[in-house]
Structure 1
Amino acid sequence: MTEDDVEKLGDHIASLPMKTMDEKESAKRFDLLILQLQLGLLNEDTSWAKNRQRVEKIADELLTVSENLPFVAAASKTLEALLDSEWWEGVTIPELEKVRREIRDLVEFVPRHKRQVVVLDVEDEFGDIAEVDLPVEHAAVGVNVSRVEEELRASLDDHRDSLAMQKLRTARPLTESDVEDLETMVADTGLEGVDEVRESLGGDTIPAFVRRLVGLDEETMRAEFADLLEGSTLTANQISFIRHVIKVLVNNGGLTMQEAFDESFYPYGRVSDLFQDNQAVVLDLKSRLDRINATADVS
């Protein structure tokens, strides 16, 4: 290689990787997520469904902030399409690439935490500065809950074909042996911070905890509510609400009626308003949710 060649490389090639240095980490992670989906279209991949759920979750969370962020609202049509199962049927690599380009810079606006704002009006008073020894037993060790949660999901995904996991994800009753198998799966991950993740998700039993991580099987949940959606007399908004319930069950692994009644659960109306003339459906919905949630306990 001549000196002229080296100079050309320095001028035109060496700086190329640096162009991505200023990009948000969230955008690059979304790029990777879409790439994994595109590769999954070329070669069958067991993680494809889980990656799709992650994209759907991102789209859903972005829609919750779209009213306050005009640049997110501008992508609402695409975000809503990502929540429609029909869009995913026969999806192509170019379509996924279009999603990547449109959404990648918005991912950083996904709300990470719901913080309670506390305002304090305190007047500082400084005394003499003193050095204090902090006992080791009082020292706190930080745990990156999000990272541990992602590693847990990936590890549990390896057990997707086990009988206990299949029963858990299809809302079938569990035996004590199934629960022991699930406890072993969690223990075998060997990850530090599992208790913190479990606490952040509500301190559930091990089966309920695992199901919050892996979600419920979409086909099973659609079958569970098929009679409500097919040939029913429900309005378009009511049908849309039931579909939203199914999506939440698939992504979160469970849903209580109290959560469904929450004002923030469904952006286009509360249960009490949507079904005010059809309370029988509300009672039916509660019965179905109770049954699904109960399958995370030992029968």
Structure 2
Amino acid sequence: MLGRGTRLKPKLFGPNSPVDDKTEFKVFDVCQNFEYFEMNPDGSKDSAARSLSQVIFENRLQLAENLKSDEAQGDYGAELREYLLTLLHNRVAGMNLDNFIVRPNRQVVETYQSADIWRTLDTERHGELLNTVSSLPTEAEPIDVLEQDEELALRFDQLLLTMQLALVERTGITDTQQDKLLRIAEQLQVKASVPAVGEHLEWIEYVLSANFWEGVTLEDLETTRKRLRLLLQFIKTDEEVGVVYTNFDDTATYNEGNELHHFGYSDDLKLYRKRVEAYVREHENDLTIQRIKRGQPITKLDLERLDEQLFEASGIQDMTAYQDTIHPDKPVGLFIRELVGLDRNAAKAAFSTYLDDTKFNSDQIQFVTTIIDWLTENGTMNPAQLAKAPFTDIHFEGVFGLFDQSAVMRLRDTIKEIERVAFGE
């Protein structure tokens, strides 16, 4: 990035030294490259987006793994798992070992081209398939005419796969996923005059009915996937899609120059803080940091030692400047807690009394669960937050609308005690 223009040279501008010497240069780092490479000396990691085929491979593998131990899905769960593994094996079996992308992983691919190994997938093999095999190209022919690899069909496969995963993992199908499938069904319904669509009209209307969604099952979703995936080609024609023309005017912005003392160091010392935050996240398994995260008692001596480690990691030469920059308005324990959050189990233990459904109603338990979510994410909380969003979304008066005065005070004291522990003893 820096070349000949940054070289200094005597008498560059004339015969008289030092008046004609080149003694300085300016670098206009509008995109903050110095700061970036100071934090990432090896550059960025490959962040190429995964292909649709790779995502589908990974989701099918995950769904098959989940079904392996999910007895609740019964015989159909086992049948679907067998079919998913057949699809995955077919894809790997069709990989050309002479392909220049496949060739470096030839030994791994050959292993999974055997059908038998798919019956005994363990954690190690699962990881190998995800990390090495899933992204490789294939020349496999579909195992069935209904499984052709068309772009729109593959996107539909991905939608239905995420819904199946949501059912098995019991996270629930989202409104967004449901709306997407309903819109597709509605668009197909109006294409009933197309013979291929008309053949499945009864199922399309079933998908649009409330009965389908009241007790939707894995089998319902898989049947929907197989029946409708190749029909999406009839939804949008070139005329319906049309052409979109844009004509945007660029707006130029200008940054004022700043004196550059050392490459990568900005005057406001933001980079130093980023270094410290990166150090904390990379060393979350450090015993002291773990105790802070879990809300366990910690000594001031431990906190002082941790602060010294952060000081060294920051690269700041002066301890006073370090404290003024990194955590000027809070002790180091609280600073760490806000970065790493509070362990969820520790938060639940602190508020366990309020999670008893024999003593508290559903709104009260939801309110306390929201406190736990907040502390897990942010590490600390100002008790005044209990009278603000998101708590007022549960009751418009916040904590005061759900708990009596004594309970409010106990909740406040618990929150303050969780914070106090991070100060050290």
Band of TM-score, shorter chain? 0.3 to 0.5
Structure 2 length-normalised TM: 0.35
Q: Which has the higher contact order (CA 8 A, sep 6+)?
A: 1
